[in-house]
Chain A
Amino acid sequence: AQSVTQPDIHITVSEGASLELRCNYSYGATPYLFWYVQSPGQGLQLLLKYFSGDTLVQGIKGFEAEFKRSQSSFNLRKPSVHWSDAAEYFCAVGQNTGFQKLVFGTGTRLLVSP
């Protein structure tokens, strides 16, 4: 069964600084990988996804993520954080066969300081 670990419960970044959120997954084959963002009181919005091909994927709002098979990681990055990026970020893994069942990590809360 697949699983996801997000080792950082919360991270504080200064506005304008770069950001990296960590995600490690466990899955026997090549997984489908996702990053979602949840603003307070809102649902989850898809930032980006990886299925195959180029291991560096671009998403919305200036985010990108890199799939590293050797490290079982799919870290999320942004070169310059804006105050509006403060939210909860979830990494998720899905199986690449059959019906999709996304398994989510426990989330990382991003705080942006002035």
Chain B
Amino acid sequence: DTAVSQTPKYLVTQMGNDKSIKCEQNLGHDTMYWYKQDSKKFLKIMFSYNNKELIINETVPNRFSPKSPDKAHLNLHINSLELGDSAVYFCASSHTHDGGGYTFGSGTRLTVV
């Protein structure tokens, strides 16, 4: 299936731990994104990579570090997790410049306890 796939779907962890979320797309897109959706459903962009190069880096704590080994993968590593990091994290991808809109993954629900 052509899609954006994220793993894991659910992640429950204790404060202070380090965790990673993985994202892969097989759509041939050259741009990938991480969005955070808070408890009120508000979606805010965190990062964007184009062909492995970081192009958007919003005001995000430096505990969050994205990594793109190739243009089909974009992972998100979070250090020293805090309660406020609890949210749903969505990966998405698109073609640059064609304004085609994003294809989203199904999300990773992160709960920090």
Contacts and interface: CB of A to CB of B under 8 A. Distances in A.
B101 interface: yes
Contacts of A44: 43, 90, 92, 102, 104
Interface string A77-114: 00000000000101000101011111110110000000
Interface size class of A (residues with CB under 8 A): 20 to 34
A43 B93 CA distance: 13
Contact of A99 (B96, B103, B107): B96
Interface in A28-77: 32, 34, 36, 38, 42-46, 49, 51
Interface residues of B, number: 26
Contacts of B48: 99, 101
8 contacts: A34-B101, A42-B106, A43-B4, A44-B90, A44-B92, A49-B99, A101-B45, A106-B42
Nearest to B40: A106
B66 interface: no
B27 interface: no
B104 A106 contact: no
Contact of B104 (A43, A94, A101): A43
B31 interface: yes
B45 A43 contact: no
A104 B42 contact: yes
Contacts of A102: 45, 101-102
A49 B90 contact: no
Given A99-B31, A99-B48, A100-B31, A94 B40 contact: no
A43 B31 contact: no
Interface string B7-49: 0000000000000000000000001000000001111110010
A99 B105 contact: no
A104 to B, nearest CB: 4
A38 B42 CA distance: 12
A4 to B, nearest CB: 10
Contact of A51 (B92, B99, B105): B99
B55 interface: yes
